[in-house]
Structure 1
């Protein structure tokens, strides 16, 4: 009995920090699609969400699959507090790590882009003990001229429609004002005409009265 009690006491008093920590899911975020010009530089962002504090053993990995290719190649890896750019591949001299692992930022900068850089970049992150999660991908499209995005076109259409509606409202109230002014002028003219006829009638009656008085005398 004493042996059993001692065993349970040891288990309960065993520090939790010496017990293995349970792994939880990690969520990784990148952009959806990025556009860039030939010869320009572009930043590809990668961040993650984890319930744990940022570990000293946090890692970031970037892979690249060119358009039309079946396989991906690793182009960058961050581990042990140091960044490592792949010494082979299309970005060996054109990739720079610009992230901040302490802030869960694993962004990279691609320099001097070319048409051949079109493809899909995938970022994976680990924040031990949180190592379970799905990598996130961003598609890069390189153009000679950046195309107008759908959002810009939609905004332009909405702006044009709103401008047309404002113009219609302005014309409507202007027409109402012109009609009201014309009606007012006609009313004033009619009143003036009526007053003029009344004055003439009064003069005629006055003349008739004077003439009658003259003949009576």
Structure 2
């Protein structure tokens, strides 16, 4: 009997735990980015997506509110209900909020147009899909710049690219220097050899010309002497 009572008590505890955990397990989930950057005078999209364990109800609602930077006041800037988006045209967001979401895809995104520095702050998205209405809103911080911020990845990429470019330039310079040095060394030897060859040929040519001239003069002298001797012999014979 005591065993049955302990088993029943255990079942009751387990059932109680399931009931206590069930609402949090089936709560609607809302997702936004932590931070979004914008440029003054341009537009920015504030994305908001939600997940509900229930089928999308006709009574699904979604709302956006804004809390300026350094302020505790929150103002409503957008509301979606009964399939119709409603944009309160009041204060600084008048005619600057545009509905760009699709509730069929559980997308509750909006666009803020013509950004200004007064838009710096926190935008809060909240959704309910009855009977799934339990869940925490999600917020995104908007930071407006005069010009687009330089992302850390861009800076890192630029640094890496500059380093690689410098390394490549150094390699090219070393290669060019080696080529120039090689070209300067090789032609000097070739020119000296060629000049020596030319000088040797010129010297041998001059020597050949001198020898040929001397031989030619000797031959002419020999023939003239022979001719003169022949003339003298003929004169003697006549006598």
The TM tier, using the shorter chain, reads 0.5 to 0.7
Task: Specify the structure having the higher radius of gyration (Cα).
Answer: 2
- Relative CO higher for 1 or 2, CA cutoff 8 Å, sep ≥ 6? 1
Query: Structure 2 vs 1, CA of residues 191 and 68 (structure 1 numbering), >3 Å: closer, same or farther?
Result: same
1:17 match = none
Equivalent residue runs for 1:1-217 within 5 Å: 23=26, 26-30=29-33, 32-38=35-41, 40-48=42-50, 50=51, 55-57=56-58, 58-86=60-88, 88-127=90-129, 134-143=136-145, 145-151=146-152, 152-189=154-191, 191-192=193-194
Tell me the SS of whatever aligns to 2:93: coil
Contact 2:98 2:111 in 1 (8 A): yes
CA displacement at 1:53 relative to structure 2: 7.9
CA displacement at 1:197 relative to structure 2: 8.2
RMSD (CA atoms): 4.2
**Structure-2 separation of matches of 1:55 and 1:79:** 13
Whose helix fraction is larger, Structure 1's or Structure 2's?
Answer: 2
TM-score (norm 2): 0.59
CA displacement at 1:61 relative to structure 2: 2.0
Query: Structure 2 vs 1, CA of residues 23 and 53 (structure 1 numbering), >3 Å: closer, same or farther?
Result: closer
- Please list the CA deviations of residues 128-170 of structure 1 after superposition, one character each: whole Å capped at 9, or x if unmatched: 6665555333222334x31442344444433333332332222
**Structure-1 separation of matches of 2:133 and 2:203:** 107
Contact 2:101 2:108 in 1 (8 A): yes
Tell me the SS of whatever aligns to 1:30: coil
CA displacement at 1:69 relative to structure 2: 0.3
Structure 1: any 5+ residue segments left out of the alignment? Answer: 1-19, 207-217
**Structure-2 separation of matches of 1:53 and 1:200:** 109
The total of aligned residue pairs comes to 194
**Structure-1 separation of matches of 2:174 and 2:77:** 63
Contact 1:23 1:129 in 2 (8 A): no
TM-score (norm 1): 0.64
Contact 2:40 2:114 in 1 (8 A): no
Structure 2: any 5+ residue segments left out of the alignment? Answer: 1-21, 209-239
CA displacement at 1:179 relative to structure 2: 1.9
